[in-house]
Structure 1
Amino acid sequence: MSPNPENFPAPEPSPTEPGEASFHLAPNGQAGKVLGCLLGGALGDALGYAVEFSKLSEIRAAFGPDGLRDFAALPSPVPFSDDTQMTLYTLDGLLEALEWANQGLGADETACIWLAYLRWLKTQGVPLDPGAPSPPLRWIDSQTVLHQRRAPGNACISGLSGPDMGTKFRPVNPDSKGCGTVMRSAPFGLLPYVESEMVYRLSEDAAALTHGHPSALHSAAVFSALIHDLLAPDASLQEAADEAVRRAADSGVPELSARLTAAVDLARSGPVAPEALTAALGEGWVAEEALAIALYSALATVSAGSPQEHFRTALALSVNHDGDSDSTGSVTGNILGTLYGTGALPASWVAALDGRDVIEELARQFTAATAG
């Protein structure tokens, strides 16, 4: 049965307008890691979105033999895609569930995510099915920067266009394993005081809202658990990657396990040519490939130097290839933004990013709701 939207309260007004909160580029604590994850993902998304549908030869022709490596090569403000839009709506769905919990009331987290995604669907100009609930609007829905239609995934659109909520046991798009589950799932890993197993389950259940293939579900869940591991103050990227490989092996999805193992093995050679990257890991259009490329990009560039140089080098590696550059860039940015916090983010990139204030305000609200 679909949840009754009248059971969900109207949103509380935001305590500050975007830009009023002193949350810009917070230090590398809990708040800094949350904001680093969200802004880092948006930066990777934006860099990759500029070349998402371009062949490697076209990228090199436009930006030189090393490809696109810096926001300075793009007109400002630099837009992000549906990847960041859906990530922020994932965050807002979790935020609504947290608001319920902080009032001493229970709520189905996956239902809250579904209602958030339905609100996102409306921003894309797609009418809701007459049988689907019509959730009340929240602060995020008034942010016009999120109303741009920027190549949303077909499975995400079709999976939300029916009257019922997709589940693992009643799947929508049962054969789809597109990367639309992975690119939106970082917020589950940002939940503090939650066991990794719960993060995994929540992410898997939310992935089933739009995709049904086991790789789509478990790739998203492994990614969310990876982000959760990196949330610790003393997190190790290599240890988190090894744990992701273990979780992938335990998932029962052979292609996910094979791709992540290949990603970690390839990273030992350092950065390789884009042609070798896609030959080994795929182009990122499907879930396990997108996660593998991102994990490889983060691991292969650890010797780049400072956290900021690591971030820049990894993102360049993750987007310059024949494939789904915005999703691979977004996931890479989520990983390193969580690992390092906001200190890794190039200030000039952040300043040029379209919608930065919306991301910062949602991060502030989420951090406030999870404090204590």
Structure 2
Amino acid sequence: MSTDSGLPAPSLKSRIHGALLGGALGDALGYAVQADSIGAIRQRFGAQGLTGFDPLSGPWPFSDDTQLTLYTVDGLVEALEWANSGVGADVNACLWLAYLRWLAAQGKDAGPSAPTPQPRWIDRNEVFRQNRHPDQDCVSGLATGEMGTSVRPVNPEAKSAGTVMRSAPFGLIPHIAPDAVYKLSADAASLTHGHPSARQSAGIFSLLIHKLVSGEALRNAAADVTAHAAALPGVAPELPDGLEAALRLADKAIVAPEELVQVLGGGWTAAEALAVALYAVLATLPDDGADAQPARHFQDALSLAVNHGGPSDTTGSLAGNILGALYGEDCLPVQWLGALEAPDVVRGMADQLVKVTTGEG
């Protein structure tokens, strides 16, 4: 079996590792210029901006985006461990407990009404106790001590990118229906964010990852989830509008960062961040018939995703998740992996997800 690029189709294990490591790489690259203006980025790194880790002194840290993505993996792994042992578990409760452990690792208190979760392997890693400018809607939503739901939301007006940034793992679980992927992701977003666009953007992003892991071509998957978003009941218009704008802008190939932000926004909201990342991976996709070079596509897309005046860690992370799910580990530049903080932790969580979903050790 091969992909539409002519390359052999990657295994599920490779896609899981690729998506999680790719997201961590994009996050780390973007974290180096997080919220810098494009002028400041050019002043630091030249006219092309930051295009790799060479100008940085490694190992380079990732942000709360990867911290929370890996805690999402942990919550899903715990729910699947219970299911594999024949015991039904509330998936969202497992995720809430995982996020509360992340909050505690950040030195924050969820209050007396919140449960005290039992520690797991992930909690023993020092990298999660580092404060990396966490999304404040995630912090405040968890700090209520209440388990938010779509019908009883915490942070009802919150629509920051703190949902979409952590939602790739839902798309990496095999053998579940697309509608279930969307619901799991949107429900988990409700734990911290109450605005419909934050929940819907997370669900659509997870659905995109699911389609890529299932072998769908990138352009087709992007068009499919854009149409799906437009058809959602009660959809926040900014989500389908942003995705459609990303598809149109990608047809123009590469545009200047100033035009990117003008058309798609800087990535501060969940819908904007998803639109910027989708544009970056589509605008740098090799033309049909061109030689497939996954690592080159990865580097080009992430360079485009992080060089703008918004939260570059999040847009870089999402682009890395997408390409890792598409190509598997083959797209990850070896030199970049050597510059990443705590790759063993990312691989460790990827291995746990592989084991609980496929039985592979």
TM range (shorter): over 0.9
Match of 1:278 among 257, 261, 278: 261
- Which secondary structure state, in structure 2, belongs to the residue aligned with residue 303 of structure 1? coil
Number of paired residues? Answer: 345
In the alignment, what sits opposite 2:153?
Answer: 171
Q: Could you list the runs of 5+ residues in structure 2 that have no partner in the other structure?
A: 1-8
Q: Could you list the runs of 5+ residues in structure 1 that have no partner in the other structure?
A: 1-26
In the alignment, what sits opposite 1:257?
Answer: 240
**Shift, 1:146, TM fit:** 1.5
**Shift, 1:352, TM fit:** 1.3
Deviations 1:303-351 (A, max 9, x none): 2851100000000000000101000000000000100000000001111
**2:291 is the alignment partner of 1:308:** no
**Shift, 1:253, TM fit:** 1.8
**Shift, 1:53, TM fit:** 2.4
In the alignment, what sits opposite 2:325?
Answer: 338
- Asked if the contact 1:171/1:208 (under 8 Å) is kept, the reply is yes
- Asked if the contact 1:128/1:134 (under 8 Å) is kept, the reply is no
Q: Find the aligned partners of 1:180 and 1:164 in 2 and give their Cα distance.
A: 18
In the alignment, what sits opposite 1:297?
Answer: 280
Q: Superposition RMSD on alpha carbons, in Å?
A: 1.0
Q: Find the aligned partners of 2:145 and 2:249 in 1 and give their Cα distance.
A: 44
**Shift, 1:28, TM fit:** 2.4
In the alignment, what sits opposite 1:193?
Answer: 175
In the alignment, what sits opposite 2:347?
Answer: 360
**Shift, 1:302, TM fit:** 0.5
Q: Find the aligned partners of 1:59 and 1:39 in 2 and give their Cα distance.
A: 24
Q: So what's the TM-score if we normalise by structure 2?
A: 0.94
Match of 1:244 among 210, 214, 225: 225
**2:21 is the alignment partner of 1:34:** no
**Shift, 1:215, TM fit:** 0.3
**Shift, 1:201, TM fit:** 0.3
Q: Find the aligned partners of 1:110 and 1:247 in 2 and give their Cα distance.
A: 23
The one-letter code matched in structure 2 to 1:335 is I
The one-letter code matched in structure 2 to 1:114 is W
**Shift, 1:271, TM fit:** 1.0
Match of 2:70 among 88, 99, 106: 88
Q: Following superposition, which runs of at least 4 residues in structure 1 exceed 6 angstroms of deviation?
A: none
In the alignment, what sits opposite 1:129?
Answer: 111
Identity, in percent, stands at 54
Q: Find the aligned partners of 2:127 and 2:264 in 1 and give their Cα distance.
A: 33
**2:216 is the alignment partner of 1:235:** yes
**Shift, 1:95, TM fit:** 0.2
- Structure 2 matches for 1:319-338, cutoff 5 A? 319-338=306-325
- Structure 2 matches for 1:37-48, cutoff 5 A? 37-48=19-30
The one-letter code matched in structure 2 to 1:137 is P
**2:305 is the alignment partner of 1:318:** yes
**2:126 is the alignment partner of 1:144:** yes
Q: Find the aligned partners of 2:158 and 2:145 in 1 and give their Cα distance.
A: 19
